[in-house]
Structure 1
Amino acid sequence: MKYIYLICFGIIAINKIKCHVTDRTKNGGMSETLTTQLPADNDTRNIIIKETSDKKHESPEKVQDGDNSVYLDDVLFAMKNQNWTGEEQPCLDHIYRLLYGLQNFTLWAVYEWDAQASEPQGLLFGNRYQLGNFDQCMHAPWAKKQPELKTKYCLADIVLERTDRNVRRKVEKLHYPYQSALDFIEHRPPHTRPLNDLTWGACVPSACAPSTVERLLAVMLARSHLGAAGMRANISITEPCQSSDDEREYDALFYTFFGVMGSITVICLICTYLNCRQKELDPDSRKSGFIKAFCLKENALDLLRMKKEGIEVFYGIRFFTICLIVLDHQIGISNSGPISDGLLSDQEIQTPLGLLILHDDLFVDTFFLLSGFLTITNMAKFKRMPNPLFIILKRYIRLIVAFAVVIFYVCAVYPHTGTGPLWIRGAGHDTELCRKNWWVNLLMLHNYIDTENMCIIQSWYIPCDFHFFVVTVLVYCIYRRLPNLGLIIAAVLTVAALVVPGVVNYMYDLSPVQLFTFEFLKDPRASREFNETYIKSHTRFAAYLVGFYSGYIFVTYSSKGNLNRISRKWSILGTCSALTLMLVVMVLGSMFLWRSYHPLEGAVYAALNRPAWACGVALIVLCCSFGHVPLVKGFLSWYPWVPLSRLSYGLYLTHSLLISRSVFITRNPQHNDHFEALISTVGVIFWGCIAALLLWLLAEAPANKLLALCLKRRIKRIMHLEASPVAVSPNTSMSTVPTGSGHLNDNLPDTIYFSSKI
């Protein structure tokens, strides 16, 4: 019996295999000519497809079995029951051909449909961007030979809304698995991304208008799992669709940029060669000064010079501050772009790590402190004050030259450096704003004029620093001539700098701090706090004044020649106290995100948090300068930080362009990984320093030296007209220590000669 059962089982198995092979042969048969026939009611639309090839094509039988066919039939049925206009007919014909081609599994139809997400995925986990396959849509192999099959890529913004009238219950347990998915999607904790918003990338026929694409996506979304509960979708396409036929024209601005920068490069190379070959040129000749100003070797050596004036810790503080700013921007800009786990990223804001990140804008106040500190240390060197207009002009040139080159690059070259689903939305928008408001930036007024269309968002810092410099220089000049009046003005400015931020915060009922949450990162220019308080000079002056006064303390006690005034014990204790103060200020600011508070409490914190942070940094500087803090002082004064710190300004100008480009060219959502963020940050810092080095060698250093040369010659002419000229000794030179806020080299001429007329 056992053998009989085995024989029967073998016969049955052979028959099943034979039948399976026979079925595959029948269904897989090829024919030389294929005709995709449509139902009779569509004959009037002339969408019967006939495709012929030399040898082989796909099966003439439709692939109609399975859920996919049901889905396609459902979409086709919904499309037929729409009210279409005559202008939409070419697009509609192509869509019908596409759907019937999908039923036959025709290559071009499957290729086109496969380039987009048929329905959103991962939306409940914060995956807002459903981008599909951008390159597959844009670069079909037959796009040039078969123009009727051309496609384009469109981005649609969709907001899902509930249509049911059921009582909406408060979500008590966010992750309770048996609650309604509608309640979960609709629930949005404060400062998190909405789960009912998505951006959908659609690969559609090139003949389709945006309104037709919106209706097509509405049909597809209604047949997806998100349409099962009858959610209403508000769909809008607000930007031009991208096509492979869209060639970016290199306009006159593009060629002008490379012409100007190429000419400067040639001049620098020639001057470098002449300066190296002619070492004994007459130092008083104009030719010598011009050649040295453009000499790459001389300008590179300026980066390596370390000035020992007792505040060498500035080098390390400056460089690590800009590194932390780059890290914050890397995390923030990446989280605002396509990521697959946005829900987890939003939940991290209430973790200890989130408390250390959300209020990291305090790092910028470190730069304000350094700038104010060095302003007074340089001004205090003069026995007689020169014309303040010369000092202000030198400062303006120092800040504006590199800034102007970066703006020029954004307007002319930046839009040609990448492609991607979000490229037009991101890089194109930034370029448009810079071409519109570049002149406001050059006037140092872009933190007050048309701030919602600001060119280069992080550049708000530059006019603030310049405004602070102008005010403090003028007040100090008044103080040197009329001490009592100068002290009164300084007292009024100090009180105003402390009070105004709190008053503005209280009057407009704003958040005490600018928290880097999703709604801010998505569009910083549209943030109310950003425009009212964060970027305004009159609300950010306090940290600069703390630096100014702490610098005055340093000048007063260091002028006696003895810097060792604080014992090691008190130096360590002061440094630890400063770090504790800074940590408390940062954490308290982040806690405003999720706790309730009285408006008056928020106003007090808004007024005091930034000067308190600056006091912490100033205390560290003074403890290291007048005492000895083991490891800290030696590490921050390490020589390799010298050239890197002098490149901080250029890195500040360029790093956001590198980060934004990597986000705007993203094809697919990325996983938010901390280690990957660190790696990306290191890369941005490296290439940003390379860009900053080029800015320094080709633009900043030559401009500074040419201005110094012009000022010296002008002053010498004045000296010849004076009866008794007075020269300033080298000890009262106007050389300055660089800072990350823009003091990256000498802010003023190396030696100034002035007379009583200046």
Structure 2
Amino acid sequence: MVLTVKMQCFGLIIVILHMNIAQALTGEWDDKIAVLYPSLPIAAPWSKNEHCRNHSRILLQALNNFTLWAVQMLDASARQPGGVLFGNIYQLGNFNECLDVDGPIQSQYCLTKVTVTVSHTGTNFDPYIQKYDPESSVWDKIKNAGNPSRVSRSSVYQALCVPASCSHKDIEIAISQYLQKYKHPAGVHYTAAVAPNLCHTSQQETFLSEDYIFICMMACAVILVIAGTALDYSYSGSSPGTLGLDLLFCFSIRQNMAYLNQDLSNRVDILRSMRFMCTCIVVLYHRAANLGASPLWNLEFLEKEFQTVRLALMHRGETVIDNFFLISGFVVAYILLQELHRKRFNPLNFILSRIMRVLPALLVMIFFYATLFYKLGSGPRWDIVVGPERDYCQKNWWTNLLFINNYVNDERMCLLQSYFLACDMHFFIIAIPVVILLSKRPSIGAAVLGGIILVSIIIPFLVTYLDHKPALVNFYIDFLLAPRGNDVYQSVYIKSHTRASPYFVGLALGYLLYNHLNGKQKIGMVPSVVLCGCVVCLLYGTMMSGIVFYDPTRPYNPLEAGFFAGMHRFVWSLGISIFIVVITLGKLPVISSLLSSKLLLSLGSLSYCMFLIHPVFLYWSNGGLHHPEYFSYSRIVVLAAGDIVLSIFASLFLYLTIEAPCSHMTRKILSKKVATKQE
């Protein structure tokens, strides 16, 4: 009897303990366990908006009844954020699941920005610390303020699937009211904000008249290509004889592919292969930057990489852009000297040919950005990634047309990479009289060109030194997210007067090689290999020297920053110039055979279109992301390889329909005018 009573008492104790443990693991869990960011409500039942209020109450009632459509809205929303300390600040939920809800109320997907402010953590926190003390306060890492290479975890974006009848303000008020009642630690406060461009419904975008105009324009170009190709085959490649048919002949695929597949006519043509290889490097570099600007699972890994040698090559990849300036200056000098030597140079025709070589494809891309591009995708961040690009091109297209986009409204520049075209056009206009002077009065021309190069070094030095600007653009996350708003980018990086030295070094190189390329001066194999090795060391040293400016703890020295800003592009262009001299006058069989390959030469002719097109795929993938990416170097290479392949095919289409026909038509019209004048 006594034993039975004892067993019953013991069993009662076990039941009570089990109930207490269960209660601790369920009902009191939120009170006992620290929560950095709470789960947010998906309804606004007390909203002043009657439709929002009624639909929210319908949603809550359906949730209580475990109705499928309502639970689907809850399931599509991001619940309590996870991985925030490692940098996963975008809790994207399930975009498609939310918009696919089929219920009595329409759903909408909203990204809510929740910001935490901490009054005091009780510790003296060093923002430049490399490794956090595991015993320190978590709020030190959340604040993460003062270090430009790190992203604060004080703001998190949480996806909510809410009734579409609720405006962004209705949702913001409901969340703010909830956060005011939320039990948070002392000194910690939460605020919420919902931007209208971060809310999406399943409503389809309507095509406007300008969208149809763009589609019709490209359809007409395709029809002209088909007609021109048919005409080419009907005349067996010979000229029809009339100007109208000759112009239609310019659209022939066979003719334009023949231009694309031209064999190596002289050693200078290998610069086409160099241009393509540089374009591929730029695509790789832009893909790395785009991945860094995307929502990431492992943002902390990228933050730690910013001061490593591994990422230094990515940091300094922007120097490859100077190769394009140098090659452009070289080609202009070389072609212009040929025209002057043949006594058939016409400045107006030369400038017009250049403009018609650049402008048509550029205008097509601007038109595409301003109209159709936005309609071709969707995603949680589509409006903040692709939307601004559309708006900038709708408002500032005319600055690109006049090649002043790197000076006028540059903070809202259409086509971020188009600053290069503005700089290049400015340099091209200056280069014409300089090359003419070099041809007519070599000594005076050389002095003028030397003076221009010297000034192009001094200007960035003075801009950086006098205004106490950083030595270079630091490609931290805040810059990758909004490059147009960066002070150094606007005042130094995209301005013609601070980017001129590589172009005019290329101009000098073109002049020197034009006078020596057909001569007897050659460089033997051993000197060629030695010079090539020296070039590699010089270029590597130039790139790696910039990594010291990524150390946020390093004291700023305006003289040092100014010296680097003025000299590094000049030194880089000197190294590339020596390499070009070696491959044109020297003996490097492996490199020469590679650069002389027909495939690379053909792809080199597509470089300009690739330069214009490849950002489309970057914006497309970034804006259309439905979940965070994982940052790794292998991931960058794989994505960049896809970008390059897609860009090649898209560039071939743009080349055959727009660039090549317009360029050849301009050449035919100008040659007809010259022939008429001679008669």
Q: What is the TM-score normalised by the length of structure 2?
A: 0.89
Whole-angstrom distance in 2 between the partners of 1:485 and 1:612: 24
CA displacement at 1:269 relative to structure 2: 0.8
Which of 94, 108, 114 is equivalent to 1:158? 114
Conservation of the 8 A alpha-carbon contact between 1:134 and 1:153: yes
Whole-angstrom distance in 2 between the partners of 1:633 and 1:365: 22
Report what 1:314 is aligned to.
271
Structure 2 SS opposite 1:687: helix
Q: 1:451 to 1:311 in 2, by over 3 A?
A: same
For residues 267-286 of structure 1, the C-alpha deviation after alignment (integer angstroms, 9 at most, x for no partner) is 22112112111127556532
Whole-angstrom distance in 2 between the partners of 1:164 and 1:434: 45
Conservation of the 8 A alpha-carbon contact between 1:116 and 1:132: yes
Whole-angstrom distance in 2 between the partners of 1:693 and 1:185: 48
Which of 157, 163, 171 is equivalent to 1:199? 157
AA of the residue aligned to 1:377 = Y
Report what 1:577 is aligned to.
534
For residues 432-479 of structure 1, the C-alpha deviation after alignment (integer angstroms, 9 at most, x for no partner) is 111111111111111111011111111111111111111101222344
AA of the residue aligned to 2:114 = I
Counterparts of 1:477-492 in structure 2, within 5 Å, are 477-481=436-440, 486-492=445-451
Whole-angstrom distance in 2 between the partners of 1:599 and 1:180: 37
Whole-angstrom distance in 2 between the partners of 1:279 and 1:647: 26
Query: Does 2:173 match 1:212?
Result: no
% identical aligned pairs: 26
CA displacement at 1:521 relative to structure 2: 0.2
Structure 2 SS opposite 1:250: coil
Report what 1:111 is aligned to.
72
Whole-angstrom distance in 2 between the partners of 1:201 and 1:394: 52
For residues 358-413 of structure 1, the C-alpha deviation after alignment (integer angstroms, 9 at most, x for no partner) is 11100000111111111111111122362212111111111111111111111121
Report what 1:336 is aligned to.
293
CA displacement at 1:92 relative to structure 2: 3.8
Query: Does 2:372 match 1:413?
Result: yes
Conservation of the 8 A alpha-carbon contact between 1:355 and 1:591: no
Report what 1:249 is aligned to.
206
Structure 2 SS opposite 1:239: strand
Report what 1:278 is aligned to.
235
Report what 1:135 is aligned to.
96
Conservation of the 8 A alpha-carbon contact between 1:358 and 1:517: no
CA displacement at 1:598 relative to structure 2: 1.2
AA of the residue aligned to 1:195 = R
Report what 1:589 is aligned to.
546
Conservation of the 8 A alpha-carbon contact between 1:433 and 1:455: yes
Paired residue total = 647
Structure 2 SS opposite 1:198: strand
Q: 1:547 to 1:92 in 2, by over 3 A?
A: same
For residues 222-248 of structure 1, the C-alpha deviation after alignment (integer angstroms, 9 at most, x for no partner) is 7889x4455323432233354445321
If each structure's helix is expressed as a fraction of its own residues, which one has the higher value?
2
Query: Does 2:643 match 1:684?
Result: yes
Report what 2:86 is aligned to.
125
CA displacement at 1:543 relative to structure 2: 0.4
Structure 1 SS opposite 2:317: coil
CA displacement at 1:593 relative to structure 2: 0.7
For residues 151-206 of structure 1, the C-alpha deviation after alignment (integer angstroms, 9 at most, x for no partner) is 21222333321134745443657332211001121224332222212222222222
Query: Does 2:606 match 1:650?
Result: no
Which of 599, 606, 615 is equivalent to 1:640? 599
Larger radius of gyration: 1
CA displacement at 1:97 relative to structure 2: 4.6
Q: What is the TM-score normalised by the length of structure 1?
A: 0.80
Conservation of the 8 A alpha-carbon contact between 2:326 and 2:573: yes
AA of the residue aligned to 1:502 = F
Report what 1:291 is aligned to.
248
Whole-angstrom distance in 2 between the partners of 1:103 and 1:175: 43
Structure 2 SS opposite 1:631: helix
Query: Does 2:503 match 1:544?
Result: yes
For residues 596-650 of structure 1, the C-alpha deviation after alignment (integer angstroms, 9 at most, x for no partner) is 3411001000001011111111111111111112422222222210111111111
Conservation of the 8 A alpha-carbon contact between 2:379 and 2:624: yes
Q: 1:278 to 1:170 in 2, by over 3 A?
A: closer
Structure 2 SS opposite 1:350: coil
Whole-angstrom distance in 2 between the partners of 1:187 and 1:368: 39
Whole-angstrom distance in 2 between the partners of 1:282 and 1:653: 32
CA displacement at 1:507 relative to structure 2: 2.1
Whole-angstrom distance in 2 between the partners of 1:222 and 1:177: 30
AA of the residue aligned to 1:204 = V
Q: 1:67 to 1:216 in 2, by over 3 A?
A: farther
Q: 1:244 to 1:280 in 2, by over 3 A?
A: closer
Q: 1:209 to 1:342 in 2, by over 3 A?
A: same
Conservation of the 8 A alpha-carbon contact between 1:153 and 1:242: yes
Conservation of the 8 A alpha-carbon contact between 2:198 and 2:381: no
Conservation of the 8 A alpha-carbon contact between 1:312 and 1:636: no
Structure 1 SS opposite 2:354: helix
Conservation of the 8 A alpha-carbon contact between 1:157 and 1:235: yes
Greater shift after overlay, 151-160 or 649-658?
A: 151-160
Unaligned runs of 5+ in 1: 1-11, 17-64, 721-758
CA displacement at 1:342 relative to structure 2: 0.5
Aligned-CA RMSD value: 2.9
Structure 2 SS opposite 1:390: helix
AA of the residue aligned to 1:707 = T
AA of the residue aligned to 1:624 = I
Q: 1:243 to 1:182 in 2, by over 3 A?
A: closer
AA of the residue aligned to 1:673 = S
Report what 1:745 is aligned to.
none
AA of the residue aligned to 1:645 = G
Which of 498, 505, 508 is equivalent to 2:457? 498
Whole-angstrom distance in 1 between the partners of 2:527 and 2:179: 67
Conservation of the 8 A alpha-carbon contact between 2:149 and 2:306: no
Conservation of the 8 A alpha-carbon contact between 2:112 and 2:159: yes
Conservation of the 8 A alpha-carbon contact between 2:198 and 2:384: no
For residues 339-358 of structure 1, the C-alpha deviation after alignment (integer angstroms, 9 at most, x for no partner) is 11011111111222111111
Whole-angstrom distance in 2 between the partners of 1:469 and 1:316: 22
Which of 318, 323, 346 is equivalent to 1:361? 318
Unaligned runs of 5+ in 2: 1-10, 16-24
Report what 2:22 is aligned to.
none
Whole-angstrom distance in 2 between the partners of 1:687 and 1:280: 31
For residues 555-605 of structure 1, the C-alpha deviation after alignment (integer angstroms, 9 at most, x for no partner) is 121232x3x611111111111111111111111112211033411001000
Conservation of the 8 A alpha-carbon contact between 2:99 and 2:201: yes
Which of 430, 441, 458 is equivalent to 1:471? 430
For residues 311-351 of structure 1, the C-alpha deviation after alignment (integer angstroms, 9 at most, x for no partner) is 34323321211111101111111111111101111111122
